[in-house]
Amino acid sequence: MAVRALKSGGVILYPTDTVWGLGCRADDPEALDRLYALKGREGGQPSLVLVDAEGLLEEYTHPVPDIAWDLLRENGPGCRPMTLVLPGGRDVTPALLAEDGSLAIRVVHDPFLQFIIRGIDVPLVSTSANLTGQPTPGHFSEIAGSLRSGVNHVCVTGRDRRGAAPSSMVKLDALGRIEILRP
C-alpha cells in the first residue's frame, strides 16, 4: 500500500531507521509541496532523501568525495544512521537541494525501508513526522492527528517501537572537507 500511494503521487507516514517520518517520491514536486503544506513547512528548507544502496550516491550526487565511502564503511548496519550532505545533487526535485546545490542523502539498511525505496525506484523524501516547530514524536501515538489523517497512507509497521535519535549529519564538499552539521 505504501508503494502504491507513493507511485500515485501520495504522501506517507512511515517508520524510518531513526524516527517516524513523512515521505514522498524525491522526483515529485507536487507531492513534496503537499508534504510541506501538511507539515506547515515553508519551501526553501530542503529535506533529506533515503536510498537503499551505497552505489546510488553516485546516481544522485556528483562528485562523491572519497571520504564519503570511508564514512559509510565505518557507519554500517547496527550503527547510528548517518546522513551525508554531498555536493552536486541531481535527478531529484530541485526543492530538495540546498542553495549550494548539495543534497542530504542517507543509505538505509532497514529491510522495510529498502522494500519501499526499491518499489518506487527513486529516493524517498524523509522529514520527521511533526508539525513545524513542534517536538519530534518519540512514538507513533505522539504524532499529531492532522498528520495521520492528512497523508495518503499510514504504515502499520513499527507502531509499537520508540523512535531513536535522529541521524548524525555530515557535510562534505567536493574536496572531501568535513563539516559536522549534527553530531
CATH number of residue 68's parent domain? 3.90.870.10
- Judge whether residue 8 has pLDDT over 90: yes
Give per-residue pLDDT as tens, 95-127: 999 999 999 999 999 999 999 999 999 999 999
Q: What is the pLDDT of residue 150?
A: 96
| C-alpha cell read off for 102 | 548539495
Q: What is the pLDDT of residue 13?
A: 96
- Judge whether residue 163 has pLDDT over 80: no
Q: What is the pLDDT of residue 157?
A: 81
Rounded Cα gap, residues 4 and 103, in angstroms: 26
Q: What is the pLDDT of residue 134?
A: 92
CB 163 within 8 A of CB 20: yes
Q: What is the pLDDT of residue 62?
A: 94
Domain tally for the chain?
Answer: 1
HEC sequence for the chain: CHHHHHHCCCCEEEECCCCEEEECECCCHHHHHHHHHHHCCCCCCCCEEEECCHHHHHHHCCCCCHHHHHHHHHCCCCCCCEEEEECCCCCCCHHHCCCCCCEEEEECCCHHHHHHHHHHCCCEEEEECCCCCCCCCCCHHHCCHHHHHHCCEECCCCCCCCCCCCCEEEEECCCCCEEEEEC
> How many CB atoms are closer than 10 A to CB 158?
16
> Could you tell me what percent of the chain has a pLDDT over 70?
98
Q: What is the average per-residue pLDDT within 37-60?
A: 91
CB 112 within 8 A of CB 157: yes
Rounded Cα gap, residues 133 and 176, in angstroms: 33
- pLDDT tier at 138 (50, 70, 90 boundaries)? confident
Q: What is the pLDDT of residue 78?
A: 76
Residue, of 124 and 74, whose pLDDT is higher:
124
Structural domain harbouring 99: 2-182
- Judge whether residue 55 has pLDDT over 80: yes
- Judge whether residue 44 has pLDDT over 80: no
CB 75 within 8 A of CB 82: yes
Q: What is the average per-residue pLDDT within 160-171?
A: 81
Q: What is the pLDDT of residue 123?
A: 98
